Amino acid sequence: MTTFRVDDMTCGRCAGKISSALAALDPSATVEISIAQKLVRVTGDTDPSDVADAIRGAGYTPQPVQQVEAPVAPSRGGCGCASRKAAAVDPRATTAPASGSCCG
């Protein structure tokens, strides 16, 4: 998965232009766009630099986002939560991910 932050993506029309550019690059790729978080995630076999070029070609400025695996919390009481894979976290996100863990 390749993730870019696109700060100048401000609306659905912007997201549509980016989505169309990425579909033209790789029709089989999965594209996820979050306008609120200004993130574009592409899953497929396309080189990240080609993805960035396609976003630039659509008129936007992509910034690569590092995928960081959060450390797994130690188990408290043997509930099994610690054995779950932790989700990647964008440290620049303005909202915290939902909790939902019985260990949290």
* Stated pTM of the model: 0.64
Mean pLDDT of 61-74: 69
Helix or strand holding residue 41 (H, E) = strand 39-43
Q: How confident is residue 66, by pLDDT bands cut at 50, 70 and 90? A: confident
Mean pLDDT of 81-100: 46
For position 68, what pLDDT does the model report?
Answer: 55
Higher pLDDT, 81 or 23: 23
Name which of 99, 87, 104, 94 is nearest 1 in CA terms: 87
Distance from the first to the final alpha carbon of the chain: 28
Cα–Cα distance, 100 to 1 (Å, whole number): 25
Give 28's DSSP letter: T
